[in-house]
Structure 1
Amino acid sequence: MTTAGLSPVEAFALVGVIGVGAQWVAWRLQMPAIVLMLLAGLIIGPLTGVFIPARDIGDLVGPMISVAVAVILFEGGLTLSLHALQDAAKGVRRLVVIGAPLGWLTSALAVYYGAGLGWEASAVFGGIMIVTGPTVIAPLLRQARLSRRPAALLQWEAIVNDPVGALAAVLAFGAVQVLATSADKSDAATHFFIGIFFATLVGLLAGYGISYAFRRAVVPEYMKIPVLFAVLLAAFALSDRLLHESGLLAVTVMGIVIANAQLPSYEELRRFKEHATTLLVSGVFILLAAGLDMDALLGLDLRALLFVALVVLVARPLTVMVALLGTDLPVRERILVAFTGPRGVVLMAVAGLFGERLLSLGIADGATIGPLAFALVAATVVINGFGLTPLASVLGLRAAEVPGVLLVGGTRLTTGLGAALQKAEIPVLITDMNLGHLRHARTAGLPVFYGDILSEAAETKVEFIGFSTILAATDNDSYNTLVATDLAPEFGRDKVWQLPRDKSESQRHSLPVTLGGRRLGDGRTYYAYEELMAEGWTVRTTKLTEEYGFDDWRKDRPNSVLLCVIPAKGNLRFVAIDSKKVPEAGAKLIALSPPKGDVI
């Protein structure tokens, strides 16, 4: 085992490379990133001794994790729109209003009776376990391709309960702290409530102050993110000064206020915070996994297994079933939600932080919280990662076995393309803000959505999770670019396409090439395609074989415009202007072909 330590700079570089690298590999392998980060942290930490945080970074480990967790929870608060929650289904509200407190109680009981920890550690850890892993649930939902309603329930629960769980842990720890450090219980309670009030006040003032300054243009655009970070750190430090760890409450409240302030620059702020959080989540998780005590992990006995079983099989199902009593959700959807509760990075980070804090108060059970959190995260990620798709299939709650295509714009081209895709058993949805534009698709019997695909109505009525590819093909270049730019972070830029823009010699009205999605086809614009369709061109499908390859198809159809390829194995891919990839045998070619003289 390696005994020579790393310098702090080498340690930071290693954490960054391993953390981000694990997330990238997980994306390539289509698996939860947390699994690889767990393995990577264990390998470079307790298993090989290459990186030991306490040895290589020293006393900075604690403050670094505290600040990183504060930023992560702020980003969690920044995703909590009270308006969207108010408009959400009754089941979502019940999972938050009833499910969170009940989950706190049942999880604390599982810790107390299952793992055998004292009431102090059980109360704190039980609050943390309200969090169901927003950074884990999203990729699992995409992989399982759930129907819209259960997927929305799980996603919203994860988003809202992310800060709620942290707040529950803050409240529980604050109560334990004042009771453990003060002989006068009345003074302790007074100090505790004053600290909570002060933390909430600091968060409100910081959030409203930022909102006012940004809305009134007191802060220039290029300084908004630095100012936001500075105020975030100041609020955290100021609140933490009065009551230890109450800074987490302050920054979460600050994030919620900003999320509901309807700032014009909110999306830019939120996306930047998501990027920062991705880096911090990677770093914190590697630090926590590498810093785990191998003896403590190996010391977990059958009571740890009993604890995990109680959480997965009793606490979570009981909480969901009670919370959803009286709703109109079918039983099968309740069962799916009840047995889907993966824990993730936030739980691991907050549990490690509060475990250290409990130890500093002389509560020995704090040393067990970290290993128990590790066991719970590993177990739930593996169970849900490999079990969610089969469970959803058995219950009949999968949106589609094959990833669908979302066609924005009700035109003859999208109607013909949609009909060809549907015939190839690929789900499609055609959307348009003009009801008249959808008449061709409705006549062809294709699914349609009347409205703006970027609207809140679309978020609640369109099962986005059932689609993996988007083509923006309206007659408005600017709108196509807006759709592609707005949805690219969600679907991935390689999955968002649009028709080529109209070219202008003066370039006066052209948009920057950095905006929008990938360009479809051979360079033809919307109007060029519409002219071809008016002349009688149609969208046709051809299957390649060993005897009849792509070169043969191109020779027989020199004028046809290849739109997309459905490989024998794998998902559909549109054809880019500069595409050089040759389809293989077994693939289906979907192309726009002339009415005569171009088909054998």
Structure 2
Amino acid sequence: MATAADGAALAPVTAIALVGVLGVGAQLWAWRMNIPAIVLMLAAGFVVGPVLGVFDPARDIGPVMTPMIAIAVAIILFEGGLTLNFKSLRDAAHGVLRLVVIGAPLGWLLSALALHYGAGLGWETAAVFGGIMIVTGPTVIAPLLRGARLSRRPAQLLQWEAIINDPIGALAAVLAFSVVQVIYTSADGAEAALQLGLGIVVALIVGAAAGALLVQSFRRGWVPEYIKVPLLFVSVLGAFALSDWVLHESGLLAVTVMGIWIANSDLPSFTELRRFKEHATVLLVSGVFILLTASLDLETLGTLTWRAAVFVALVVLVARPVTVFVSLLGTDLPWRERALIAFTGPRGVVLVAVAGLFGERLQEIGIADAALVGPLAFALVTVTVLLHGFTLAPMARLLGVAATDRPGVLLVGGSAWATALAEALKRAEVPVLISDANHLRLRGARELGLPTFYGDILSEAAEHNVELTQYATVIALSDNDAYNTLVTTDLAPEFGRENVLQIKRDASETSRHALPSTLGGRPFAQCATYREMARLLAEGWEFRVTGLTDEYGIDKWRADRPDAKLIATIGPRGTLRFPRDEESIGSGEGLRILHFSPAKKDRQPVPPDA
């Protein structure tokens, strides 16, 4: 089998371009194939690196690889901190506190025991590596949660635990290594303890100060809009470097604190900053995974024995579940949510990166079995990524803690015809929610037993009370064209522009009122307007669902109902699509179409409407 050393070196620019293409390409392919992106990223890096020898980061990129990974991890953790708004915690706050205060030290202890008795490592190496294993991997959790569509509370617990425990795990490894270093060398214990305490204090102060200074600068207008994102990046790098200079790995704590500070400051420009950071994080996560897997050495992996499998099994089946169940003992969390969290503990980039660093440091002071730290870290990451990548969503559905089995539709506007549409969707077993800021407009929906939300869908109350993960499509149907445009423009980045629709604007035909393509959503109901839909409903039109077959396709349906307005198609598994034109619909058993049409009065029989 080829190794990386067998191939010719790539130019640094070519190597970096290859990392980008493989990382983003793997994410795109995973989205198309509906499989976890992390699995494909691991496979892509492993194939081009150890297997084919096309790409060797140490050879092709050189000494800049380690600082590149360190900076990428810092930015990823900062972006994770930006997602941690204390207002969003609500009923999960107590569980998060327990997972950090109780779960981190308990997880450290149990991981060290698994390393010593399972993998056969000495206590020194087990103590250092066990501290790193507190980390549950924010780089892995985020894409997993995006695909699994969990209900709000377990998703919050997993996300907060992963991000907060990340720097704690790195600092735990620093603490354990400092103790080992004092034992194996002539280092002064008091000095090591002082340096550790000073590093943590400096990290907290630097992170909070950097966050506070940025917030004040943005709020008081000291920074022009086009400089905000570059300044944010530079500040993250500066805080990370300054804190890391005082104590290695403390920079991760500094940037996490910085992100949390900004997230809880109610900045007007926070949404734009966070979205840009999310885009950067997607690139960085992809790149780091490719770099780390491509750097693996097959010979080193070959040193693993059956004890590595025992170690991984102990971590997944014993250490993680015991840590979670003990930490959450006495809380009001349902057992189903506890079980999901207990058996969800993927490890990711930070574990591999930090484990490799401390493995080398332990070897330098004369601990031989530290050479196994890197291979064991990769084995744990690979197994947990594959395991949770393929089982998290099915397990969530099995335990009943998934947001929904079928992606639903969020209707904004509680008019009579919007209520009729919601009723038709409900009959077709498509989850639906009607939102309106006018309580009276929701009365008809409530009388029909339809789920409703009273309030502005863009409000903070909606963010806390509406589980948006249940819905894959947003349709703005209010009688206010400007509000419809605002809703679809604001929610498009979260749902995807293909999945936000709005009723046609009355004045959109004139050049004076036409909007650019960057605003608003896709047209709904074949470009019908609000007034037109209300008039047709008053004339007796109805929302109906009609099944299509190979014999009775879209052409025959259109011939039977030439005036009908096509709304959506419903696949055999309940998948809802809003096609742009009828040519893309096709036919086949189990396919149904939702349409708005007048009552059928002719004598010619047609397939029954549901």
State TM-score, norm by structure 1.
0.92
Cα-Cα RMSD: 2.7
| Partner residue of 2:586 out of 583, 586, 592 | 583
Whole-Å Cα distance in 1 between the matches of residues 310 and 521 of structure 2? 50
1:48 and 1:345, CA in 2 relative to 1: closer, same or farther beyond 3 A?
same
What does residue 268 of structure 2 align with?
264
Q: Give per-residue Cα distances to partners, 1:70-110, cap 9 Å, x unaligned.
A: 21222222222234336645334433333233223322332
1:277 aligns with 2:281: yes
Q: Equivalent residue for 2:334?
A: 330
Q: Are the counterparts in 2 of residues 557 and 598 from structure 1 also a CA contact under 8 Å?
A: no
Rounded Cα–Cα distance in structure 1 between residues aligned with 2:116 and 2:603: 73
- What letter is aligned with 1:584? S
Q: What is the Cα deviation at residue 399 of structure 1?
A: 4.2
The equivalent residue for 1:481 is: 485
Q: Are 1:186 and 2:186 an aligned pair?
A: no
> 1:89 and 1:21 mapped to 2: Cα distance?
37
Residues 509 and 589 (structure 1 numbering): CA distance in 2 closer, same or farther, change over 3 Å? Answer: same
C-alpha displacement at 1:36, in angstroms? 1.0
**Residue 220 of structure 1: aligned partner:** 224
Q: 1:414 to 1:377 in 2, by over 3 A?
A: farther
Q: Determine whether 1:231 maps to 2:257.
A: no
- The yes-or-no answer on 1:464 pairing with 2:465 is no
Q: Which residue number in structure 1 is paired with residue 295 of structure 2?
A: 291
1:344 matched to which residue of 2? Answer: 348
* 1:553 to 2:566 alignment: no
Match of 2:254 in 1: 250
1:67 to 1:132, Cα distance in 2 relative to 1, 3 A: same
Range 143-152 or range 492-501, more displaced: 143-152
Report the residue type matching 1:153 in the other structure. Answer: L
Could you tell me how far apart the structure 1 residues matched to 2:381 and 2:162 are? 15
Whether the aligned pair in 1 keeps the contact of 2:554 and 2:582 (CA below 8 Å) is: no
1:204 pairs with 2:208: yes
Q: 1:17 Cα deviation (Å)?
A: 0.8
Structure 1 residues 563 and 354, CA gap change in structure 2 (3 angstroms):
farther
In the alignment, residue 111 of structure 2 is paired with which amino acid? S
Q: In structure 2, what residue type is equivalent to 1:73?
A: L
Amino acid at match of 2:47: I
Pairs within 5 Å for 1:92-241: 92-141=96-145, 143-169=147-173, 172=176, 183-241=187-245
| 3-state SS in 2 of match to 1:262 | coil
Over residues 510-537 of structure 1, what are the superposed CA-to-partner deviations in whole Å (9 max), with x where a residue is unaligned?
5432023322122122232222223322
Candidates 7, 13, 35, aligned match of 1:9: 13
Q: Identify unmatched segments of 5+ residues in structure 1.
A: none
Q: Which deviates the most, 403-412 or 461-470?
A: 461-470
**Are residue 565 (structure 1) and residue 569 (structure 2) matched?**
yes
Q: How many residues align?
A: 599
Equivalent pair of 1:69/1:350 in contact (CA under 8 Å): no
What are the residue-to-residue correspondences of 1:401-412 with 2, within 5 Å?
Answer: 401-412=405-416
Select which of 484, 492, 495 maps to 1:491.
Answer: 495
Distance in 2 (CA, whole Å) between partners of 1:160 and 1:193 is 18
CA displacement at 1:204 relative to structure 2: 2.2
Change in CA separation of 1:192 and 1:91 when aligned onto 2, cut-off 3 Å: closer
**Alignment partner of 1:421 is 2:425:** yes
The alpha-carbon distance between structure 1 residues 485 and 358, as it changes in their structure 2 partners (threshold 3 A), is farther
- 2:437 equivalent to 1:433: yes
Q: Deviations over 1:109-160 (max 9, x none)?
A: 3223322334444344333333333443455445555444434433443344
CA contact (8 A) 1:175 1:192 kept: no
Pair 437,251 (structure 1): closer, same or farther in 2 beyond 3 Å: same
Residue in structure 1 matched with residue 448 of structure 2 by the alignment? 444
What secondary structure is seen at the aligned counterpart in 1 of 2:314? helix
Q: Distance in 2 between matches of 1:326 and 1:351?
A: 34
Which one is further off, 179-188 or 197-206? 179-188
Match of 1:27 among 31, 40, 47: 31
Q: 1:169 to 1:188 in 2, by over 3 A?
A: closer
Q: Is the 8 A contact 1:284 1:349 kept in 2?
A: no
Q: Aligned equivalents of 1:581 and 1:511: distance in 2?
A: 27
Judge conservation of contact 1:214–1:224 (CA < 8 Å) in 2.
yes
Structure 1 match to 2:385 = 381
Equivalent-residue separation in structure 1 for 2:232 and 2:267 (angstroms):
13
* 1-structure distance, mates of 2:316, 2:603: 59
User: Structure 1's 466 and 166: CA in aligned 2 closer, same or farther, altered over 3 A?
Assistant: farther
Amino acid at match of 2:254: A
How far is 1:596 from its partner? Answer: 6.0
2-side partners of 1:361 and 1:255: how far apart?
A: 36
Distance 1:174 1:223, change over 3 A: farther
1:489 Cα offset (Å): 2.8
SS in 2 for 1:95: helix
SS in 1 for 2:584: coil
Measured against aligned partners, the alpha-carbon deviations of 1:173-232 in whole angstroms (never above 9, x if no partner) come to: 566667767622112222222222223222222222211111111111101111122222
> Percent sequence identity over matched residues?
64
Query: Equivalent residue of 2:235, what SS?
Result: helix
Q: Distance in 1 between matches of 2:481 and 2:433?
A: 20
* Structure 1 residues 432 and 265: alpha-carbon distance in aligned structure 2, compared to 1, 3 A threshold: same
Partner SS for 1:482: helix
Q: Does residue 304 of the first structure (1) align with residue 308 of the second (2)?
A: yes
Distance change >3 Å, CA 163–CA 239, structure 1 → 2: closer
SS of residue matched to 2:475: strand
Counterpart contact for 2:95–2:328, Cα < 8 Å: yes
More off after superposition, 365-374 vs 138-147: 138-147
Aligned position for 1:369: 373
Greater shift in the superposed pair: 184-193 or 565-574: 565-574
Amino acid at match of 1:583: G
CA contact (8 A) 2:508 2:515 kept: no
Q: Point out the more displaced range, 4-13 or 463-472.
A: 463-472
Q: Which amino acid aligns with 2:280?
A: A
Q: 1:85 — aligned with what?
A: 89
Helix, strand or coil: the match of 1:368? Answer: helix
Question: 2:444 is paired with a residue of what secondary structure?
Answer: helix
Alpha-carbon separation, structure 2, partners of 1:328 and 1:233: 40
In structure 2, distance between residues paired with 1:480 and 1:410: 13
- Contact 2:81-2:258 within 8 A present in 1 as well: yes
Query: Structure 1: how far apart are the matches of 2:173 and 2:305?
Result: 25
Q: In the alignment, residue 495 of structure 2 is paired with which amino acid?
A: F
Q: Does 1:36 align with 2:40?
A: yes
Measured after TM superposition, the shift of residue 302 of structure 1 is: 1.8
Q: 1:467-507 deviations in whole A, cap 9, x for unaligned?
A: 22222222223332333233333332222222223325665
Q: Is the 8 A contact 1:556 1:598 kept in 2?
A: no
* CA–CA separation in structure 2 for the residues paired with 1:555 and 1:212: 64
**Residues 85 and 280 of structure 1: is their aligned pair in 2 closer, same or farther, counting only changes over 3 Å?**
same
Q: Distance in 2 between matches of 1:480 and 1:175?
A: 61
Q: Which residue of 1 aligns with 2:608?
A: none
CA deviations 1:332-378 (Å, max 9, x no partner) are: 33222211222233433443444445555655454323222221122
Indicate how the Cα distance of structure 1 residues 241 and 147 shifts in structure 2: closer, same or farther if over 3 A, else same.
closer
**Which piece of structure 1 moves more, 379-388 or 534-543?**
379-388
Instruction: Using the TM superposition, name which of 563-572 and 420-429 deviates more.
Output: 563-572
SS in 2 for 1:575: coil
**Which segments of 5 or more consecutive residues in structure 2 lack a partner in the other structure?**
605-610
Task: Provide, for residues 406-428 of structure 1, a one-character-per-residue CA deviation record: whole Å limited to 9, x for no partner.
Answer: 22221223212221121112221
Whether contact under 8 Å (1:178, 1:189) holds in the other structure is no
